[in-house]
Amino acid sequence: MSADKLENLLNPSKAGDLGNIIRRARRMGELTEILSGALPECDKTAIVAANIRDNGELVVICASSAWASRLRYETETLLKAARNAGIAASTCRIRVSQG
């Protein structure tokens, strides 16, 4: 595959499934940064990824059950940060990464 074809395939401004996946991944990365930035300094590295579901559920993924326990105390902070960024989050669920 030529470099031009690959560039077009990975271009998020193009219509299609791959463009949608790339845009969604970028939004998830931005959300993860927003939420991490809202946490106390000692907790900023706790979040591995974050996503918002269509029903308004904010899903925060962390690396261990210890981080999950700690982040559960910060759910209001996380919800507030998401809302301040214009994300209509109504609930927050903390999950542990399986990887």
**CA–CA distance, 35 with 49 (Å, rounded to integer):** 9
Which pLDDT belongs to residue 98?
84
So where are the chain's domains? 3-96
pLDDT higher than threshold 60 for residue 6: no
Which percentage of the chain shows pLDDT scores above 70?
Answer: 83
In this predicted model, what pLDDT tens digit does every residue of 24-55 receive, in sequence order? 899 999 999 999 999 999 999 999 999 999 99
CATH class held by domain 3-96: alpha beta
Closest CA to 37 of 25, 50, 26, 52: 50
Entry pTM: 0.80
User: What is the residue-wise DSSP string for the chain?
Assistant: --HHHHHHHT-TTSSSHHHHHHHHHHHHHHHHHHHHHHS-GGGTT-EEEEEE-TTSEEEEEESSHHHHHHHHTTHHHHHHHHHHTT----EEEEEE---
Per-residue confidence band for 20, with pLDDT thresholds at 50, 70 and 90: confident
60 - beta bridge partners?
50, 94
